[in-house]
Amino acid sequence: MLKKVGILINGGDAPGLNAVIRAITRTAERNNIECYGFIDGYNGLLKNEFIRLDKSPITSGILNKGGAIIGSSLNSNVFKYKVIKKDGSEGYKNLSKICVENLKNDEIDCLFTLGGDSTQKSARDLSLQGIHVIGVPKTIDNDVACTDETFGYNTAVSVATEALDRLHTTAETHHRIMVLEVMGRYAGWITLEAAIAGGADVALLPEIPYDIDKVVEKVKERQNIGKNFTVVIVSEGAYPKGGSISVKETRDGGKGVINIQLGGSGELVAKELEKRTGLIARNTTLGYIQRGGSPTPSDRVLSSKYGAKAMELAMKGKFNVLTVLKNGKLSSVPLEDVVGNNKKVGAVEGGTKDSNMKTIPMDHDLVKTARSIGICLGD
């Protein structure tokens, strides 16, 4: 019998987090199950800091609210946690046992982990220590394996589409090339879907190293038919053929976490196009606007579905799984499938050959559609 459940969020925020919290809490309340939220994700789990969510006014009015009322941890791998040693030097410690003890002492029967690739990897590692976990796939990048769609993605696409609409009119007025850099480290879902929705002429994705000459050709082809402007959308993780990903900064989050901050791919494309076409090119980096603010109705519904399904699975005792959407239907897959070959305990860094991210397959309908309507993909 399920008596107490806990919720934890890890990684960058995504619109819909509060809607998931609300759905889990409401389902718990209706089934006389206590529900707690760990403050600031894995950090709160380490410190055993939590708040009660059920039978509390805290979860009222949050369905349409951006961010997360319980916070989130960033770059926190409890299996390789950055600590300051007595002599002042930095080191890394496996603190997962503290998390396990806290969860056992708090008598949490199931921990819901709301997060992307790295979060679910840590969740799977905790499950190997006897903790019952159920993952919910969150990220605006839509790159979590085994599910059709993550919550937060639809909102990010809608924000990027609005930005493209706005850039379109100014590009047309001033006969310029307008470049929009959007998020997507290793997968170009936001880029491609927004390109189609926002009528971009060029979409550059991490999945297809681009040839800048092909983009120049597209600009010229448009000029030849009297269209003196071009709208380009670029993933932060896109890079030129034979080149490398644009890194803004390397930060020290700790071992086993993603330590590079991307940025600059749009600026690079704008500079190259200006040089090669003679047209003025400007870059806009959309950044964190894609992650903040109110979720779209579609994300509110998806998040509510995921939250309710996660509780249903918990009540049935189906643990150590990720709630997923498969061909439009709610379902679940073992966390082992989600981590793929990234089996080593404590290893969470994404974008490695073992990480199991969902990138865009080249035979995907979005790719076919984009090509068919003449969007240049840089190849």
What is the token pair recorded at 58? Answer: 């805290």
Largest CA distance in the chain: 71
Q: Is 261 in the site for ligand F6P (CB under 6 A)?
A: yes
* CA–CA separation, 127 and 124 (whole Å): 5
* CA–CA separation, 190 and 14 (whole Å): 13
Is 152 within 8 Å of 288 (Cβ atoms)? no
Q: Is 287 in the site for ligand F6P (CB under 6 A)?
A: no
Region of 126-134, 166-174, 183-191, 305-313 interacting with ligand F6P (CB under 6 A)? 183-191
Q: Is 140 in the site for ligand F6P (CB under 6 A)?
A: yes
Residues 7-46, interacting with ligand F6P (CB under 6 A): 12
Known catalytic residues are 141
Region of 83-91, 123-131, 136-144, 362-370 interacting with ligand F6P (CB under 6 A)? 136-144
Q: Is 183 in the site for ligand F6P (CB under 6 A)?
A: yes
SS (H, E, C) 123-137: HHHHHCCCCCEEEEE
Q: Is 262 in the site for ligand F6P (CB under 6 A)?
A: yes
* CA–CA separation, 237 and 182 (whole Å): 9
Q: Is 299 in the site for ligand F6P (CB under 6 A)?
A: no
CB-side neighbour CA atoms (13 Å) of 31 = 19
Q: Is 6 in the site for ligand F6P (CB under 6 A)?
A: no
Region of 81-89, 181-189, 208-216, 274-282 interacting with ligand F6P (CB under 6 A)? 181-189
The least CB distance from residue 183 to ligand F6P, in Å, is: 3
The least CB distance from residue 74 to ligand F6P, in Å, is: 6
The least CB distance from residue 229 to ligand F6P, in Å, is: 27
Is 115 within 8 Å of 135 (Cβ atoms)? yes
Name the residue whose CB lies closest to ligand F6P: 183
What is the token pair recorded at 311? Answer: 């509780």
What is the token pair recorded at 79? Answer: 């299996």
Q: Is 149 in the site for ligand F6P (CB under 6 A)?
A: no
Instruction: Output 142 or 230, the one with its CB closest to ligand F6P.
Output: 142
Residues 194-253, interacting with ligand F6P (CB under 6 A): 236
What is the token pair recorded at 230? Answer: 């071009």
Question: Which one, of 181, 119, 132, lies nearest residue 320 by Cα?
Answer: 132
Judging by DSSP bridges, how do beta strands 50-52 and 34-38 pair with one another? antiparallel
3-state secondary structure (DSSP) of residue 158: helix
Q: Is 139 in the site for ligand F6P (CB under 6 A)?
A: yes
Q: Which residues bind ligand F6P (CB under 6 A)?
A: 12, 74, 116, 139-141, 183-185, 236, 261-262, 291
